[in-house]
Amino acid sequence: MSHHIVAVKNLRHVYPDGTEALRDVSFRIHHGESVAIIGANGAGKSTLLLHLNGYLAPTSGEIQIGDFPLNKGTLPQIRRTVGMVFQDPDDQLFMPTVYDDVAFGPLNLGLSGGDLDRCVIEALERVGARHLVEKAPYHLSGGEKRRVAVATVLSMSPDILVLDEPTNGLDPYSRRQLIALLKEFRHTRIFTSHDLDMVLDLCERTIVLKDGEVRADGPTLEIFQDRELLEECRLEKPLSLQGCPVCGTRR
Ligand SMILES: Nc1ncnc2c1ncn2[C@@H]1O[C@H](COP(=O)(O)OP(=O)(O)OP(=O)(O)O)[C@@H](O)[C@H]1O
């Protein structure tokens, strides 16, 4: 087994309309690391994540997941390793009931009967959505959909969890619950977020994208203390690192 679980080398992506969303992106992520990918709107974060399990193919460059180079032949193996939670839960939920959506992946892995039921219920319990099991996904609220979308991925027990803006649209209680859940996930975590307090809380390492390129890659706290970098990349310090506007002390 290689010592890194994700290796991205000179990745470039040009969309069919000519937009060059990723220019020359390289990094490696090790087993068990928790890594945030941050950047302003349009920096290329979602485009990058969508390459990590083959939803988008590189225009040029290479991606390796564990021991496998990502290509058509290795796609099934890689999709078992990388669990992807999309930015829009409607892209993830397409079955008539929540049960069917969460069962979809494990069913394809060969689970059935009581084992399948247990797997589905356990995944829904982990995201606090057990009570939604019989519902139609299109009847759920935005926050409920997001939690169920996370459950569809947890039910597959992936080695790498990839989440695109996971706290988007969650109320404060659900946000805290999701952060606690992500902390429990002991495998590799990679996610994008504009929720910089969550990034600070969950990720020891942060990669900053700017205009489709890696502008910085290092310890999260160091990144958030680099005022010039934050300004250049149109980012702000997490609230928890900002001084109190009244007395000047740090929260
Ligand atoms: N399907 C597409 N066709 C053409 N251009 C696209 C497509 N999807 C994204 N883009 C462009 O690629 C660039 C990167 O977009 P991407 O969604 O990866 O950014 P992002 O960092 O995730 O942004 P946000 O924070 O707003 O979600 C943007 O300029 C965007 O307009």
List the CATH number of the domain containing 33: 3.40.50.300
Domain count of the fold of the chain: 1
Distance 44 CA to ligand 1 centre (A): 6
Do the domain assignments include residue 107? no
ipTM of the complex: 0.98
What is the rounded end-to-end Cα distance, in angstroms, of the chain? 43
Do the domain assignments include residue 15? yes
Q: pLDDT for 34-50, tens place per residue?
A: 999 999 999 999 999 99
Domain span holding position 225: 4-87+160-241
The answer to whether residue 113 scores a pLDDT higher than 50 is yes
Do the domain assignments include residue 38? yes
Do the domain assignments include residue 41? yes
What pLDDT, on a 0 to 100 scale, did the predictor assign at position 231? 95
Distance 212 CA to ligand 1 centre (A): 10
Do the domain assignments include residue 170? yes
Quote the pTM value: 0.92
When pLDDT is cut at 50, 70 and 90, the band that residue 1 belongs to is very low
Do the domain assignments include residue 113? no
Give the binding-site residues of ligand 1, using a 6 Å CB cut-off. 15, 17, 19, 21, 39, 41-47
* Ligand 1 atom at shortest distance from the alpha carbon of 194: 25
* Ligand 1 atom at shortest distance from the alpha carbon of 17: 4
Do the domain assignments include residue 92? no
The helix, strand and coil proportions of the chain, stated in percent and rounded to the nearest 5, come to: 40, 25, 35
Q: For residues 134 and 30, give the distance between their C-alpha atoms in angstroms, rounded to a whole number.
A: 38
What pLDDT, on a 0 to 100 scale, did the predictor assign at position 181? 87
What pLDDT, on a 0 to 100 scale, did the predictor assign at position 51? 96
% of the chain beyond a pLDDT of 90: 76
Weakest mean pLDDT among 3-7, 57-61, 133-137: 3-7
Distance 247 CA to ligand 1 centre (A): 40
160, 180, 182, 234 from 119: Cα distances, Å: 18, 20, 18, 42
Question: How is residue 149 written in tokens?
Answer: 């979308």
Do the domain assignments include residue 112? no
